[in-house]
Structure 1
Amino acid sequence: MSLPRFMHFDVCSVTFDNSASLIILPFHHKWNHHGKIILENNLQRTVNREVLGTAPYSAGILVDGRKIRTETSADQHRQSRYHVAVIFLGENDDQEALAYAIRMAKSMRIQLSVIRLFPSEVSEENMDAVLDREILRETKILSWKQSNIVYEKRLLVMAERLL
């Protein structure tokens, strides 16, 4: 067991030692069956923030939406859909996030929205830009074939505000 202030180092080390390319962290809220927050774990929130800020790999926080819904029947639960969104700015991390999301969208229970944000001024061409175009082209084609995938492109007029 780690001291709380060093937990994120241990999480990153164990993940790196095991050659994991993705780690999914638990959300810091717990809900009761009525959808009301019954526990807020500030230690977990701090660890999550530190891992997300320092991890040399992809990290995400899993929020189980079933826990925050009010009571539903088992039949409604089986029919429920999960909404996943990828905000695509470009380069390796976004390519990886989109690849994971596309894999999830193989299930028709997943509604995937891919939003490509791009600046009004075009930067120099590099390998990442070529890879970005290729994965986005494949995503557009998938969105034509699968009704559960939506692709949209948005122009950023003031891109420097995003950074």
Structure 2
Amino acid sequence: MRQYEQYNKGYSTLQAYTSISSYVTMHDDIFRLAFEKRVNLVIMPFHKQWAIDGNISRYICHVTVIFIGGADDTEALAHGARMARHPSVDLIVARFLLFGEENSKDRKRDSDLLEEYQVANADNERFVVVEEVVRDGARLSVVIRSMVDCFDLMLVGRHHQDSPLLSGLGEWSEYTELGIVGDMLASPNFHCSISVVVLQQQRIGGKPLRNSSSCLGLLFPFQT
């Protein structure tokens, strides 16, 4: 983080704090400090750690956003788009569509959102959107599993609305704090070696903000 600050002088600032808080109130201290400092991103380590194989990432960092829909996936998309501005980052937005719901309102809303991002990145060949039509959660899991070895970093939203796309995937969740997709990727049975960031859009009064670019994201980074 210190190196990141040094290489980005004038654009980023790092401040370190040490605080002793009780378990039941520590989240209040974290969010209070975040609001006071007007940060847009809070990075929180996930407690489960797996061994790192020691391989060094390639100079070009290949990043993907898993986009199913909803506020948290929108947050992941917003951060992925910001990453894609860097010349050393290639971003693929993998949008998953449910077979047979071509005319749904949610799909149209998401299509309009993605079109806005595509227009904004029309001159950026490193920003790519691909679509995959699936029928259920089993197929979704298979496709995501096939993707993990192709990327260095995967951004996923934490919460999703009930959908046949996720059917059956939440029944055996071990780490519910990561959401259904994040829990799936964190499972030792998934056998993947990729850095994963799970994002949650900031809520006010329990409702997500509409403008994701100004919200506070919660991240749980881990590597399996």
Which of the five TM-score ranges fits, normalised by the shorter chain?
Answer: 0.5 to 0.7
Match in the other structure for 2:93: 114
Alignment TM-score, normalising by the size of structure 1: 0.54
Ranges in structure 2 where 5+ consecutive residues have no aligned partner: 1-19, 137-164, 171-224
Q: Does 1:154 align with 2:173?
A: no
Q: 1:23, CA displacement in angstroms?
A: 1.4
Q: 1:81 to 1:12 in 2, by over 3 A?
A: same
Percent identity between the aligned chains? 28
Within 5 A, what are the aligned runs for 1:118-129?
A: 118-122=97-101, 124-125=104-105, 129=108
2-structure distance, mates of 1:5, 1:69: 38
**Residue 14 in structure 1 maps to residue 29 in structure 2:** no
Q: Which structure has more helix as a fraction of its residues?
A: 1
Q: Which amino acid aligns with 1:7?
A: M
Match among 107, 113, 116 for residue 138 of structure 1: 116
When normalised by structure 2's length, the TM-score is 0.42
Contact 1:142–1:149, Cα closer than 8 Å, also in 2: no
Q: Aligned equivalents of 1:69 and 1:115: distance in 2?
A: 25
Give the CA deviation at 1:92: 1.9
CA distance in 1, matches of 2:131, 2:44: 30
User: Structure 1 residue 84 and structure 2 residue 63: aligned?
Assistant: yes
Other-structure match for 1:103: 82
Residue 156 of structure 1 and its aligned partner are, at CA, apart by 2.1
User: Is the 1:143–1:151 contact (alpha carbons within 8 Å) kept by the matching residues of 2?
Assistant: no
Match of residue 3 from structure 1: 22
AA partner of residue 118 (structure 1): L
The Cα shift of 1:117 comes to 0.9
- Aligned amino acid, residue 60 of structure 2: R
Specify the alignment match of 2:189 in structure 1.
Answer: none
Higher strand share: 1
RMSD (CA atoms): 3.5
Specify the SS of the correspondent of 2:64.
strand
Which amino acid is 1:153 matched to? E
**Letter in structure 2 aligned against 1:23:** V
| Paired residues, number | 120
Instruction: State the 1:18 CA deviation.
Output: 5.2
Task: Provide the rounded CA distance (Å) in 1 between the counterparts of 2:81 and 2:59.
Answer: 19
Indicate if the aligned counterparts of 1:117 and 1:154 stay in contact, CA closer than 8 A.
yes
